[in-house]
Copies of this chain bind each other. A is one copy, B any other.
Amino acid sequence: MKPLTTTSYAILGLLAIKPWTTYELAKQMELSLRNFWPRAERKLYEEPRKLVAHQLATVQRETVGKRPRSVYRITADGRQALRAWLDEPGAPASLEFEALIKVFFAEHGNKQQLLANLERIHTEATARAMIDAQWAQHYLATGGQFPQRMAVISLVGTLQAQLNQAILAWSGWARQLVDTWPEDLRTAPPARDSLELIARWTRHTTSETLNRQTGPVS
Which stretch of A40-48, A49-57, A58-66, A130-138 is in the interface?
Answer: A130-138
**A 186-218 to B, binary, CB cutoff 8 A, 1 in contact else 0:** 111111111111111110010111111111111
B145 contacts A218, CB within 8 Å?
A: yes
- Selected from B32, B133, B169, the residue in CB contact (under 8 A) with A208 is B169
CA distance A77 to B92 in the complex (A): 38
| Interfacial chain B residues near A201, Cβ < 8 Å | 129-130, 132-133, 161, 165
| Interfacial chain B residues near A71, Cβ < 8 Å | none
CA distance A136 to B97 in the complex (A): 21
Interface residues on A, range: 35 or more
| Interfacial chain B residues near A166, Cβ < 8 Å | 159, 162-163, 165-166
A152 contacts B105, CB within 8 Å?
A: yes
| Interfacial chain B residues near A1, Cβ < 8 Å | none
A170 contacts B198, CB within 8 Å?
A: no
Interface residues of A (CB under 8 A from B): 6, 9-10, 13, 16, 28, 31-33, 35-38, 79, 82-83, 85-87, 89-110, 113-114, 116-117, 120, 124, 126-127, 129-140, 144-145, 148-163, 165-170, 172-174, 177-178, 181, 185-202, 205, 207-218
